[in-house]
Amino acid sequence: MREQVITPQVIANPKSKYGNAKASTRHFITQRLSGAINIAFLGLLLFVVVQLAGQDRADMVATLGNAWIGVPLALLLVIVTVHMRNGMRDTLEDYFAGRSYQLLMMLNTVFCILIALVGVASIFKLVFWG
Amino acid sequence: MVMSIAHRATGIANYAGSALLVLWLAAAAWGQEPLNVVNAIYGSWFGQLVLFLYSWSLIHHMLGGLKHFVWDFAEMMEPGQREMLSWATLVGSVVLTLLVWTIFVWVR
């Protein structure tokens, strides 16, 4: 989102404008909202891991194959990846600008989509095809 | 200040740690043999150490997020209060992590 290099002078000048006001507000709200939902994710994750850590595939199919557990876990995992991408954006914005920021942001997006895709596909495999 | 860095660091750790979760799920979806490999790695002493730190990182980041919710309402921002709140997240995360591992892993 950011091309302009932000120097201490830009920050010190109260009349300067930098960053995208609308997108930044949206990122802020998204991060708070997804963060709150992630508390539910951690609760479900704790349940799933306590049930299934070190267990065989059949046990994982039995627990995650219950659509009331598998489908919410998949949905919450997607929200987690949104939170991950947004949080990493905050970090990247602080240390990079211009082309390198755009490149790293793209890698960030690819990683988060990959996590979401593989996670959801794996869970849905267990839920719908055993 | 230090706790702000800790929030960012645990956030990045959770970012990387999500691969551990997805790897486990993918192995389970793939078949029993890949799952055996993942279970052996995660069950080893090093795997357990990483998972222990990952669980602490998740819990600490969650408490840090809750702290930010409190601050969003402009509460607990006075000097002293905010340090107290930050210490509470640190102590709380360690206690919660040990509690979870004691109840669900070590004593079980």
Domain boundaries, position A38:
8-128
In sequence order, the 6+-apart residues with CB closer than 8 A to the CB of A5 are A97, A98
Nearest CA to A66 among A54, A74, A77? A74
Residue A50 maps to a domain: yes
Q: How far is B79 from chain A (nearest CA, A)?
A: 24
Residue B88 has pLDDT above 60, yes or no: yes
Q: What is the rounded CA–CA span in Å between residue B71 and residue B85? A: 10
Q: Are B11 and B61 in contact (CB under 8 A)?
A: yes
Query: How many secondary structure helices (H) and strands (E) does chain A include?
Result: 5, 0
The secondary structure element, H or E, covering residue A72 is helix A67-95
- If you count residue pairs, one on A and one on B, with CB atoms under 8 Å apart, how many are there? 73
Mapping DSSP to helix (H, G, I), strand (E, B) and coil, where does residue B107 land?
coil
> What's the average model confidence in pLDDT over B8-26?
97
Q: Quick count: other Cβ atoms within 10 Å of Cβ B7?
A: 20
- Asked if residue A107 belongs to a domain, the reply is yes
Give mean pLDDT, residues A53-76: 95
Which position has the token pair 């890949």? B34
User: How far is A50 from A101, CA to CA, in rounded Å?
Assistant: 39
Which residues from B are below 8 Å from A130, CB to CB?
none
B18: chain A residues, CB-CB within 8 Å: 80-81, 84, 115
Q: Find, in chain B, the residue whose alpha carbon is nearest to that of A34.
A: B65
Contact: A126, B58; criterion CB under 8 Å:
no
Nearest to A119 among B11, B25, B69 (CB): B25
Looking at residue B77, what is its pLDDT? 84
Nearest CA in chain B to A62: B28
- The residue with greater pLDDT, A122 or A18, is A122
The pLDDT value recorded for residue A3 is: 62
Residue A82 lies in a domain: yes
Asked if the model's pLDDT at residue A2 lies above 70, the reply is no
Averaged pLDDT, A86-92:
95
- CATH, domain range B2-106: 1.20.1300.10
pLDDT in the model for residue A20: 82
Confirm or deny that B60 is annotated as ligand binding. Answer: no
pLDDT confidence bin for B56, thresholds 50/70/90: very high
Q: For the residues B49-69, what does the mean pLDDT come to? A: 96
Closest partner residue to A57 (CB to CB) among B28, B42, B62 is: B28
Token couple for A75 = 């949905």
Q: CATH number of the domain that A65 lies in?
A: 1.20.1300.10
Q: What is the pLDDT of residue B82?
A: 86
Is residue A84 predicted with pLDDT exceeding 80? yes
Mean pLDDT of A66-82: 96
Collect all residues of chain B within an 8 Å Cβ-Cβ radius of residue A115.
Answer: 18-19, 22
Q: Where do the structural domains in chain B lie, given as residue ranges?
A: 2-106
Q: What is the pLDDT of residue A130?
A: 80
Structure tokens belonging to residue A73:
């876990």
**pLDDT, mean of residues B10-36:** 96
Q: Is A1 part of a structural domain of the chain?
A: no
Q: For B99-108, what is the mean pLDDT?
A: 91
- How many domains are there within chain A? 1
